[in-house]
Amino acid sequence: MADARQGADLEARSPWALGGYRLARVGPASGPVDADVRVPGSKSVTNRALVIAAMAKGESVLSGILRSDDAYWCIEALRSLGVPVEVEGDVVRLAGCNGQFPQSEARVYTGAGGTTARFLTAALAATTGEYEISGSRRMNERPMGELFRALRALGTDIEPLERPDTLPIRLKARGLAGGAIEMSGAQSSQFVSGVLIAAPYARAPVTVRIVDHIVQHAYVHITLDMMRAFGAQCAAADDLAVISVEPGGYRGRRYDIEADASTACYFFAAAAVTGGRVRVTNLARGTRQPDVHFVDVLAKMGCEVTSSDAGIEVRGPATLRGGFSISMKEMSDQTLTLAFLAPFADGPIEVTGVGHIRHHESDRIRVIVESLARVGVRAEEREDGVVVYPGAPRPARLPSYDDHRVAMALSVLALRADGIEIEDPGCVSKTCPTFFHHLREMGVPVDLVP
């Protein structure tokens, strides 16, 4: 694959990154893991909160932010637009611009973050000015066309500078006219969320009609919940087929960022694959984050799952169960995790409904098949998923494809396999720079090689 040949997208690494390492030798675990873990804040919630707070009227204080590459570049992008942002530990204080960024002309760099690129592009369309927006090498390859079409329908002039439907672009913003638009949600919910985040600053109400389906409904609900928390007026059908937003803007406030359910899943999977116990102490089953439901997949594989005020706990079985097919559409970020657990199950596992993950940081379906082939495990690639068969992984050096979720999910595989080396482990910095530190605290052997 091109991602593996070209290597890491190093320009997207930030001062908050895990840097200076070319390999991670992980595992195998000496026995069942037994640990309580407190995971960092949610990437998805962090970047939504940063953009909404920057647009709001008045000051906001965001606590528990995720200190990762994506958050760093989102903050730096806001600073390039003239938004005052102060960071102390995991607390961010920023003065909102009330819908008009102080810099009416700027070059905006979004790093590798899809949320930053898509949400900020929409937010800038709601203001007045001229902006050149670009991302990292990989972000400049990722699709943006559906968002561009929606913003053009609302009155924005977008000039692609290299390819029709990707960054970089020159955006000439005259504010959003408002009105009814049709959008597809089949490729990414982030396009829909971007338009919604900008909509309170349109000159008239905005109504979004979804013409097909949204691949991950929960993330749009997270967006709407946060918009309401910052004072926006919005309404939606339960199935999100029609969503309406009234003009009126946002109001600054204090806001706590909840734990990242996606990151928590790698630690739950560690309990599953080793027959051990892991409790994530700062995550509740009531979160809107869809990846929390990965514990239900683990229960299907024979794990014992309990939740209480003390967090969510997973206990792994003596043998993981397979022999089933499952759609991972609503929690597609965990497709990799399930695929690298599947070789240790007692029957094949088929994953469906995730064709859209071919357009993430890597073509994740193909990455699964290629990675398992390198360790001698059979996997069949499908257009919208993969089938993984039981097998005994052999030692191998595995590329991470500059994809944070690949590196973290491969670490789960390594807990039960000898001799697994993961290239470019620093890519975990996109969402969890402390990932390997947490594994070590759980008693897992981790050797980071400069």
Residues in Cβ contact with 111 at an 8 Å cutoff, skipping those fewer than 6 apart: 12, 14, 69, 70, 72, 73, 74, 135, 136, 139
Decide if 275 is inside a domain.
no
Both 101 and 158 in a single domain? yes
Residue 209, domain member (yes or no): yes
Task: Say yes or no to pLDDT of 5 above 50.
Answer: no
Is 102 within the bounds of a domain?
yes
Please check the confidence at residue 268 and state whether its pLDDT lies above 60: yes
Tens digits of per-residue pLDDT, 269-293?
999 999 999 999 999 999 999 999 9
| Residues 187, 222 within the same domain | yes
Based on the fold, state whether residues 205 and 347 are members of the same structural domain: no
**Which tens digits make up the pLDDT trace of 55-89?**
999 999 999 999 999 999 999 999 999 999 999 99
Judge if 156 and 221 occupy the same domain: yes
Q: Torsion angle, CA of 196/200/202/204, rounded to 10 degrees?
A: 100
Q: Looking at residue 8, what is its pLDDT? A: 61
Beta bridge partner(s), residue 88: 91
If asked whether residues 76 and 16 sit together in one domain, one would say no
In a domain, 68, yes or no: yes
Nearest-angstrom CA–CA distance, 346 and 329: 24
408 domain residue, yes or no: yes
Q: Are residues 30 and 54 part of one domain?
A: no
Q: How many domains does the chain have?
A: 2
pTM of the model: 0.90
Q: Does the residue 270 lie in any domain?
A: no
303's CB contacts (< 8 A; 6+ apart) are 268, 271, 272, 295, 314, 315, 316, 317, 320
- Taking all residues of the chain, what is their mean pLDDT, rounded to a whole number? 96
Tell me which residue range forms the domain holding 385: 2-39+285-301+319-449
pLDDT tens digits, one per residue of 177-223? 999 999 999 999 999 999 999 999 999 999 999 999 998 899 999 99
Catalytic residue among 260, 333, 402, 403: 333
Domain assignment of residue 442, yes or no: yes
pLDDT band at 12 (very low <50, low <70, confident <90, very high): confident
Active site residue 333: yes
Residues 248 and 170 in one domain: yes
Say yes or no: 141 and 196 in one domain. yes
Residues 129 and 190 in one domain: yes
Do 177 and 130 share a structural domain? yes
Would strands 206-214 and 234-236 be described as parallel, antiparallel, or unpaired?
A: unpaired
One domain, residues 65 and 188: yes
Residue 30 belongs to a domain: yes
| CATH number of the domain to which 64 belongs | 3.65.10.10
- Per-residue pLDDT at 9 exceeds 80: no
- If asked whether residues 336 and 240 sit together in one domain, one would say no
